[in-house]
């Protein structure tokens, strides 16, 4: 027996308990423990039936992801599964919490399955660029129909125990503590009140039409469909004799383990969790029972919605009565949207709206625990608002700014309690986007930082700790690499080709389309703000200014880089081609052609350069924090793991060589960050840096 698996006997039935916190992942000790337990119970003539259950918050939530890529230690999970299935004593799995991946595969090898009410089951391996590798693709279609099998395995989303019962994946729903249910149900299994079935012996009838429809769907997605297509190929093996099917599945699983998608998606999985590891993690957060938001515009309303969805009563302050109605309309509209998306039940809608107050009376914030300011981006206005908050808010209230680039140290100078000031930078739409940059100023108290992170957890956001600089982590890096697209366009690359090349790389949308969507006037204001600070050596492209001067701000004006037609289609804006040609003539630029590969290389390299500087300067704690920012706030393709995870695939020396070759055209823009040069010299990677910090 191992320390994570224990057995208990109750007369002629026995239970096997797995206790491997935090999520009972199927690590080596657990696997060995289960096999040892089975050997002992099978050899015990008294034992007539066995129940397998878990202690802690969940049934087995899958294979131990941390073991992937390391030499496998027997017994491997397929062995444990086959061992369970072959047991001469009937075994029932009692599943609570989330029975996922290898956890559900273990249960599918038991001879009956019971779900505790409220639990979920799923095969989320595709979210890690994998597929079920311990029989899930072969055994699930023996208990569930083809449509359910395809949806669960290629989609990766868990289903409720109630649905699992409906689809034949589990045999019973029970309430109660898994340990007690285990004993009760094992007795029913002994007495044949619960039928034992050996999954491998059950017939399988794959629906060919559904399979081929799914195949065509994933083939049509190109590289984005590759992971799902591989999983579907494994399901096809279910029609073969079972051991052949299992062997084919395993081969595809091993292939997936070596894939780039898996590497990137595994990194993304851990990035989402690693960012919580901050110097202030041991601090006790301040309690946030009520909150205030200054400004009911798009961002303010989104922030208020996010907090209302987390059950926090919110008071929104607007400057004028006519704006009060707009804020109420926007926020209730957001909440109705949440009902549609299933994030809020119909029943809870009214109670949630009841937690909202919108007023022009700022003194109503005198008792709130947190205020988030989301007003116009001017230091003068920020100072005015914070000075008022300093006078109104109670001692200990956290005073936060949602500024997306202004200096938080400077903002904090407007109050007598700078230790309570912090940046909480949400991303639009704030009630949807998962990223929250927690910007720590010089005087921000450690417990205020911890409060920012605790709030993020309640809002189901991924919080990333950022230092103070212009644009913090995300916007600073964006400001740098966005320039590379303007340079390529001016040097001859077609901006539509640039958009398509980056969509091909996996981006949800290309940079010019994103510009049109978010409004070109935002970038225009930003360029005007930065103009006095722009170094003379910095190359400047005037095309975007010309588009804005023509009054075209993108989708919201029907024209930007593209023209947006009533039928939803878009075509290139011919004016832009003229603006480009004029500027090329003016600057004596002879346009040249670019391959998609060169476009992606220049774009990503520019991104990596500024990412490295942000890590070098300590604005971000680790490279993985930068990856999390781009994965959860900027739509960086998840299967690439983030810009610095991707950088390791290229290698520091190759990046240095690439930057030096680009520098021949523009030595000011293309400079090798010291950190990257050192990594090239030392042969280290960003992954190494993540381990160190």
**160 catalytic residue (yes or no):** no
Least gap, CB of 326 to ligand T1G (angstroms) = 36
Active site residue 404: yes
Query: Residue 643, Cβ neighbours under 10 Å: how many?
Result: 26
Regarding 273 and contact with ligand T1G (CB under 6 A), the answer is: yes
Which residue number, 66 or 534, has a Cβ lying nearer to ligand T1G?
66
Nearest approach in angstroms of CB 104 to ligand T1G is 8
Identify the residue among 30, 92, 128, 615 touching ligand T1G (CB under 6 A): 128
The C-alpha angle with vertex 100 and arms to 639 and 246, in degrees rounded to 5, equals 85
Is the CB of 62 or the CB of 643 nearer to ligand T1G? 62
The one segment of 64-72, 434-442, 496-504, 655-663 that binds ligand T1G by CB under 6 A: 64-72
Which of the ranges 131-139, 284-292, 352-360, 648-656 carries the binding residues for ligand T1G, by CB under 6 A? 131-139
Rounded CA-CA distance 292/327 in Å is 13
Nearer to ligand T1G by Cβ, of 56 and 337: the residue is 56
Q: Which of 24, 127, 134, 475 is flagged as catalytic?
A: 475
The answer to whether 22 contacts ligand T1G (rule: CB under 6 A) is yes
Helix (H) or strand (E) holding 490: helix 474-490
Among 133, 296, 506, 560, binds ligand T1G (CB under 6 A): 133
- Residue in 125, 188, 373, 437 annotated catalytic: 437
Instruction: Determine if 65 is a binding residue for ligand T1G (CB under 6 A).
Output: yes
CB of 133 to ligand T1G, least distance (A): 4
C-alpha closest to that of 520 among 550, 498, 492: 550
- Across the beta sheet with 159-160, what order do the strands follow? 98-100, 120-122, 159-160
83 to 122, contacts with ligand T1G by CB under 6 A?
98, 100-102, 105
Query: Does 460 contact ligand T1G by CB under 6 A?
Result: no
Residues facing 10 on adjacent strands? 13
Binding mask 151-180 for ligand T1G (x = CB under 6 A): ------------------------------
| Torsion angles phi and psi, residue 207, rounded to 5 | -80, 105
End-to-end CA gap in the chain: 36
Q: How far is the CB of 69 from ligand T1G (least distance, A)?
A: 12
Binding flag, residue 265, ligand T1G (CB under 6 A): no
Distance between CA 59 and CA 23 in Å, rounded?
Answer: 7
CA distances from 73 to 30, 31, 69, 262, 475 (A): 12, 10, 12, 20, 44
CB of 250 to ligand T1G, least distance (A): 10
- Respond yes or no: is residue 475 known to be catalytic: yes
Name residues whose C-beta falls within 8 Å of residue 116's C-beta, 6 or more positions apart in sequence: 94, 95, 96, 161, 173, 174, 175, 176, 178, 181
243-248 long-range Cβ contacts below 8 angstroms, 24+ apart:
245/137, 245/138, 246/78, 246/135, 246/138
| 23/422 with CB nearer ligand T1G | 23
Q: Which of 80, 94, 130, 385 binds ligand T1G (CB under 6 A)?
A: 130
Q: How far is the CB of 1 from ligand T1G (least distance, A)?
A: 22
Question: Nearer Cβ to ligand T1G, position 3 or 191?
Answer: 3
52 vs 14: CA distance, rounded Å: 9
The DSSP code for 591 is -
- Residue among 457 and 587 whose Cβ is closer to ligand T1G: 457
Please compute, for residue 650, the number of CA atoms within 13 A of its CA located in the half-sphere on the CB side. Answer: 25
Cβ nearer to ligand T1G, comparing 58 with 330: 58
Which is the catalytic residue, given 96, 425, 431, 480?
425
Cβ of residue 61: shortest distance to ligand T1G, in angstroms?
A: 4
- Tell me if 423 sits within 8 A of 441, measured CB to CB: yes
Contact 603/636 with Cβ under 8 angstroms? no
Interface residue with ligand T1G among 18, 33, 41, 64 (CB under 6 A) is 64
**Count of residues that interact with ligand T1G, criterion CB under 6 A:** 24
List Cβ neighbours of 609 (8 Å cut-off, separation of 6 or more): 480, 481, 659, 670, 671, 672, 673, 676
| CA atoms of 390 and 392, how far apart (whole Å) | 6
Which range in 22-30, 35-43, 174-182, 590-598 contacts ligand T1G by CB under 6 A?
Answer: 22-30
Peptide bond into 75 cis (omega under 30): yes
Residue 305 is a binding residue for ligand T1G (CB under 6 A) = no
For residues 132 and 144, the answer to whether their CB atoms sit within 8 Å is: no
Whether residue 437 lies in the annotated active site: yes
Examine residue 423 and tell whether it contacts ligand T1G (CB under 6 A): no
Question: What region, left, alpha or beta, does residue 196 occupy, with left being phi > 0 and alpha being psi -120 to 50 degrees?
Answer: beta
The secondary structure element, H or E, covering residue 305 is helix 298-309
Q: How far is the CB of 283 from ligand T1G (least distance, A)?
A: 17
Site string for ligand T1G, 34-63 (x = CB under 6 A): ---------------------------xxx
Contact segment (CB under 6 A) with ligand T1G among 85-93, 132-140, 299-307, 496-504 equals 132-140
124 or 225: whose CB is closer to ligand T1G? 124
User: Phi and psi at residue 29, in whole multiples of 5°?
Assistant: -60, -40
CB-wise, 77 or 609, nearer to ligand T1G?
Answer: 77
Please identify which of the residues 24, 134, 401, 404 carries the catalytic annotation.
404
Residue 356 CA to residue 675 CA, distance in Å, equals 48
Contact status: 242 vs ligand T1G (CB under 6 A): no
Residue 555 exposed, middle or buried by CB count within 10 Å (0-12, 13-18, 19+): middle
Rounded least distance, CB 125 to ligand T1G, Å? 5
Q: What is the DSSP letter of 201?
A: G
Residue 125 makes contact with ligand T1G by CB under 6 A: yes
Q: From CA 277, how far away is CA 273, in angstroms rounded?
A: 8
Which positions lie near ligand T1G, rule CB under 6 A? 22-23, 25, 61-66, 77, 98, 100-102, 105, 124-125, 128, 130, 132-134, 136, 273
Q: Which residues are catalytic?
A: 404, 425, 437, 475
């Amino acid at each position: 027996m191992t320390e994570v698996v224990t057995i208990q006997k109750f007369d002629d039935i026995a239970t096997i308990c797995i206790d491997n916190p935090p999520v009972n992942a199927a690590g080596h000790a657990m696997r060995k423990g289960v096999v040892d337990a089975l050997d002992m119970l099978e050899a015990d003539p008294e034992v007539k039936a066995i129940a397998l259950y878990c202690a802690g918050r969940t049934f087995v939530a899958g294979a131990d992801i941390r073991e992937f890529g390391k030499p496998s230690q027997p017994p491997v999970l397929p062995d444990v599964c086959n061992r369970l299935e072959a047991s001469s004593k009937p075994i029932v799995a009692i599943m609570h919490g989330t029975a996922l991946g290898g956890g559900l595969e273990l249960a599918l090898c038991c001879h009956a399955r019971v779900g505790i009410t409220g639990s979920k089951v799923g095969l989320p391996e595709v979210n890690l660029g994998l597929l079920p590798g311990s029989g899930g693709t072969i055994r699930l279609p023996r208990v569930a129909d083809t449509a359910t099998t395809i949806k669960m395995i290629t989609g990766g989303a868990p289903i409720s125990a109630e649905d699992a019962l409906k689809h034949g994946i589990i045999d019973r729903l029970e309430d109660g503590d898994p340990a007690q249910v285990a004993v009760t149900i094992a007795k029913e299994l002994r007495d044949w009140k619960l039928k034992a079935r050996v999954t491998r012996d059950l017939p399988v009838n794959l629906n060919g039409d559904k399979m081929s429809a799914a195949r065509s769907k994933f083939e049509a997605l190109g590289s984005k469909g590759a992971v799902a297509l591989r999983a579907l190929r494994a399901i096809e093996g279910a029609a073969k004799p079972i051991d052949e099917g299992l062997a084919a599945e395993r081969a595809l699983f091993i292939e997936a383990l070596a894939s780039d998608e898996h590497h990137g998606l595994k990194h993304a999985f851990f990035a989402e969790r690693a960012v919580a590891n901050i110097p202030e993690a041991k601090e006790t957060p301040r309690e946030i029972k009520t909150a205030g938001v200054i400004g009911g515009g798009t961002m303010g309303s989104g922030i208020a919605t996010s907090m209302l969805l987390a059950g926090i009563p919110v008071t929104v302050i607007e400057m004028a009565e006519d704006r009060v109605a707009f804020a109420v309309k926007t926020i209730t509209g957001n909440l109705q949207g949440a009902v549609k998306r299933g994030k809020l039940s119909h029943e809870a809608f009214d109670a949630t709206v009841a937690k909202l107050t919108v007023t022009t009376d700022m003194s109503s914030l005198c008792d709130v625990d947190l205020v988030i300011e989301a007003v116009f981006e001017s230091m003068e206005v920020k100072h005015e608002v914070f000075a008022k908050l300093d006078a109104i808010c109670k001692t200990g209230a956290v005073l936060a700014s949602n500024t997306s680039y202004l200096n938080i140290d400077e903002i904090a100078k407007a109050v007598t309690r700078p230790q309570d000031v912090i940046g909480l930078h949400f991303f639009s739409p704030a009630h949807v986007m998962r990223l929250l940059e927690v910007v720590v100023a010089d005087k921000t108290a450690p417990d205020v930082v911890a409060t920012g992170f605790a709030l993020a957890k309640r809002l189901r956001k991924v919080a990333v700790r950022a230092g103070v600089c212009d644009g913090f982590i995300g916007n600073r890096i964006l400001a740098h690499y966005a320039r590379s697209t303007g340079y390529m366009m001016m040097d001859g690359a077609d901006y539509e080709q640039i958009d398509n090349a980056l969509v091909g790389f996996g981006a949800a949308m290309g940079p010019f389309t994103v510009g049109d969507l978010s409004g070109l006037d935002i970038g225009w204001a930003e360029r005007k703000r930065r103009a006095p600070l722009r170094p003379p050596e910095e190359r400047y492209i005037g095309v975007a200014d010309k588009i804005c001067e023509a009054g075209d701000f993108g989708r919201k004006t029907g024209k930007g880089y593209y023209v947006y037609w009533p039928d939803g289609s878009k075509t290139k804006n011919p004016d832009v081609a003229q603006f480009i040609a004029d500027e090329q003539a003016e600057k004596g630029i002879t346009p040249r052609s670019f391959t998609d590969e060169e476009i992606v290389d220049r774009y990503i390299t520019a991104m990596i350069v500024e990412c490295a500087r942000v890590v070098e300067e300590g604005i971000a704690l680790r490279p993985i924090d930068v990856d999390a920012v781009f994965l959860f706030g900027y739509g960086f393709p998840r299967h690439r793991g983030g810009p610095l995870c991707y950088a390791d695939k290229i290698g520091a020396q190759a990046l240095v060589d690439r930057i030096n070759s680009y520098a021949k055209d523009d030595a000011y823009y293309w400079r090798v960050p010291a950190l990257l040069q050192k990594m090239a010299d030392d042969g280290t990677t960003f992954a190494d840096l993540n381990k160190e910090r």
